[in-house]
Amino acid sequence: MSHQPVLSTHVMAVRWFHGKITREQAERLLYPPETGLFLVRESTNYPGDYTLCVSCEGKVEHYRIIYSSGKLTIDEEVYFDNLMQLVEHYTNDADGLCTNLMKPKLMEGTVAAQDEFSRSGWALERKDLKLLQVLGKGEFGDVVLGDYKGSKVAVKCIKNDATAQAFVAEALVMTQLQHKNLVQLLGVIVEDKSSLYIVTEFMAKGSLVDYLRSRGRSVLGGECLLKFSLDVSEGMEYLESNNFVHRDLAARNVLVSEDNIAKVSDFGLTKEASAIQDTSKLPVKWTAPEALREKLFSTKSDVWSFGILLWEIYSFGRVPYPRIALKDVVPRVEKGYKMDAPDGCPPVVYDVMKQCWHLDTNQRPSFRKLREQLEHIKAKELFQ
């Protein structure tokens, strides 16, 4: 179990968001009446939409917030990227509502992310950050190259706040981790209630999968492949020793620094197993069978993914299980099918992959053991 989820359930991106509560519960929360008191909940009638509940002259009004093609709107005239922007707009101007929003009904037992990041020393100042150019698209929003007080940094900007909470959770996880093979968090900016930025070290050579594909066999020697494998195993050994489960380990989520050090990134999925409802969104080819089947995520399911990642490294960024249709992967893997060694992959390295792909989780090695084995292989290669 990771120790992060407990924390993140209390640290909220926004405290007026009450999640899945009913119309009646919302009305109770907005009692006694106070014009301008408001909250936002998930719509019960229209899954995926939200409801803005506002107290107005003794009555509670419920406005449906429609979510359509990535934007939010109440009146289908003004559109917003996220709930925070919507709330800001209707705070400044009633714009057709019974009243403007005046006082958020805060969720009890929570603290605001902004306060928590400031308190713990992770809050950065927006004025010190210049955004320069888009580096890539992330699940939660764009990743942008930035300049923070003269150094290059990578900045993840929030897209919409169906993910705001996950975004905050990712940053919280990162505040607890520090290792040379993990992409380092530099800080967080929570700006005027409507934008969130996660600032990390800039990884000049991009994702490992792109790095492998663009250079290929002719450029990258065995020594280099082994070095990447070892880098990742060290980062994962650190996560293992801190009881963190990554859940999305793959070459696309490993980044390469200017001086060719591979670092694990993307702690976005690091959340409670129960929070993963939609198993169809999991990266099937990287996820251990027990994790797909029973949502049993553990360090041992990360070990499975590490085996796939090794295969990606030694095949120079190929997509795993080539020539097998996605729907056939799981049934075949469950029957014990394992990928062949990539062309030119040393048998000792292939042996490490196969250990990671034991169906029995207890038979899979720990990351400590994996790191030791890879170090062994490296030491032997040096003598050849």
Q: How far is the CB of 279 from ligand ADP (least distance, A)?
A: 18
369 marked as part of a ligand binding site: no
Q: Can you state the angle between helices 347-356 and 299-314, rounded to 10 degrees?
A: 150
CA distances from residue 206 to 37, 171, 174, 201 in whole angstroms, order as listed:
46, 20, 19, 12
When asked if residue 270 is in the footprint of ligand ADP (CB under 6 A), the reply is no
Candidates 233, 217, 187; CA nearest to 373 is 233
Strand partners, 147: 130, 152
When asked if residue 266 is in the footprint of Mg ion (CB under 5 A), the reply is yes
Say whether 248 is catalytic: yes
Choice between 132 and 219, CB closer to ligand ADP: 132
Residue 55: contacted member of Mg ion, ligand ADP, none (CB under 5 to 8 Å, by partner type): none
Answer for the pair 275, 306: CB distance below 8 angstroms, yes or no.
Answer: no
* Alpha carbon distance 276, 3 (integer Å): 17
Choice between 12 and 154, CB closer to Mg ion: 154
* Alpha carbon distance 288, 290 (integer Å): 6
When asked if residue 265 is in the footprint of ligand ADP (CB under 6 A), the reply is yes
Q: How far is the CB of 111 from ligand ADP (least distance, A)?
A: 25
When asked if residue 312 is in the footprint of Mg ion (CB under 5 A), the reply is no
When asked if residue 169 is in the footprint of ligand ADP (CB under 6 A), the reply is no
When asked if residue 231 is in the footprint of Mg ion (CB under 5 A), the reply is no
Q: Tell me which of 248, 343, 351, 360 is the catalytic residue.
A: 248
Choice between 56 and 264, CB closer to Mg ion: 264
When asked if residue 139 is in the footprint of ligand ADP (CB under 6 A), the reply is yes
User: CA torsion sign, 196 to 199 to 205 to 210?
Assistant: negative
* Alpha carbon distance 225, 286 (integer Å): 19
When asked if residue 140 is in the footprint of ligand ADP (CB under 6 A), the reply is yes
The Cβ of residue 165 has, within 10 Å, a number of other Cβ atoms equal to 20
Residue 285: contacted member of Mg ion, ligand ADP, none (CB under 5 to 8 Å, by partner type): none
* Alpha carbon distance 162, 83 (integer Å): 8
Please give the size of the binding site for ligand ADP, defined by CB under 6 A: 19
When asked if residue 237 is in the footprint of ligand ADP (CB under 6 A), the reply is no
Choice between 253 and 287, CB closer to Mg ion: 253
* Alpha carbon distance 130, 149 (integer Å): 9
Q: Give the amino acid at 60.
A: V
Q: Which residues are catalytic?
A: 248
- Which residues of the chain form contacts with ligand ADP (CB under 6 A)? 135-136, 138-140, 143, 154, 183, 200, 202-203, 206-207, 252-253, 255, 265-266, 268
